[in-house]
């Protein structure tokens, strides 16, 4: 298998994984009351809405890079509307999912952080990072849901590697 074919398969796999993660997130968000979405559950410091906003902003930054800019995950907009309005969050999630579905080709990517360090990476690598990052925040959302007595799958927020070996 050629390197290009491996990259294309990795991109396709990561996009499919993101679609699955977004579907699980959508199912949870739709069943939450506005208060459950907006208010942090003690002892957690961030609300479910804040975690979802954070996840979606990382995808927004990645997709902006697809038009040639470098990615700086530290420079997020921190859109409070997405954090406080379920409909806005769900709409943005659908928009991002639609845009991700158009990515089929590897391209070089530059990631920079607040200290000015530049890293060269790839579309496939960043998509896999984003799905891992999403899963990490879904684990925190799962804790918030359990604290609020919101029914949630025991697999929600659990990495695929952990699911493969058993939880």
Q: In the CATH scheme, what is the homologous superfamily, with its name and number, of domain 3-165?
A: dinb family like domain (1.20.120.450)
Domain edges within the chain? 3-165
- Per-residue pLDDT at 125: 92
For residue 18, the model assigns a pLDDT of 95
- Please measure the distance between the N-terminal and C-terminal CA atoms of the chain and give it in whole angstroms: 33
90: left (phi over 0), alpha (psi -120 to 50) or beta: alpha
- Predicted local distance difference test score (pLDDT) of residue 1: 46
For the segment 13-56, what is each residue's pLDDT rounded down to a tens digit? Answer: 999 999 999 999 999 999 999 999 999 988 989 999 999 999 99
pLDDT of residue 162: 79
**Are the CB atoms for 73 and 58 separated by under 8 Å?**
yes
C-alpha–C-alpha distance, residues 56 and 82, integer Å: 9
pLDDT for position 67: 60
Rounded-to-integer distance, Cα 7 and Cα 4, Å: 5
How far apart CA 139 and CA 155 sit, in angstroms, is 9
- pTM value? 0.90
CA distance 137 to 105: 27
List of the chain residues with pLDDT < 70: 1-5, 66-68, 166-167
Closest to 80 measured CA to CA, from 58, 54, 109: 54
How many residues belong to the chain?
167
């Amino acid at each position: 298998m050629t390197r290009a074919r491996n990259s294309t398969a990795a991109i396709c796999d990561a996009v499919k994984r993101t679609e699955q993660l977004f579907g699980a997130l959508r199912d949870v968000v739709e069943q939450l009351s506005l208060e459950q979405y907006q208010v942090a559950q003690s002892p957690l410091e961030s609300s479910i809405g804040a975690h979802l906003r954070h996840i979606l902003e990382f995808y927004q930054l990645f997709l902006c890079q697809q038009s040639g800019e470098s990615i700086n995950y530290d420079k997020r907009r921190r859109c409070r509307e997405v954090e406080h309005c379920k409909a806005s969050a769900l709409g943005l999630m659908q928009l991002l999912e639609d845009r991700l579905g158009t990515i089929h080709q590897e391209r070089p990517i530059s990631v920079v952080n607040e200290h000015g360090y530049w890293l060269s990476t790839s579309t496939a690598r960043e998509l896999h990072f984003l799905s891992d990052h999403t899963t990490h925040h879904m684990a925190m959302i799962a804790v918030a849901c359990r604290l609020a007595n919101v029914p949630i799958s025991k697999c929600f927020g659990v990495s695929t590697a952990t699911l493969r070996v058993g939880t």
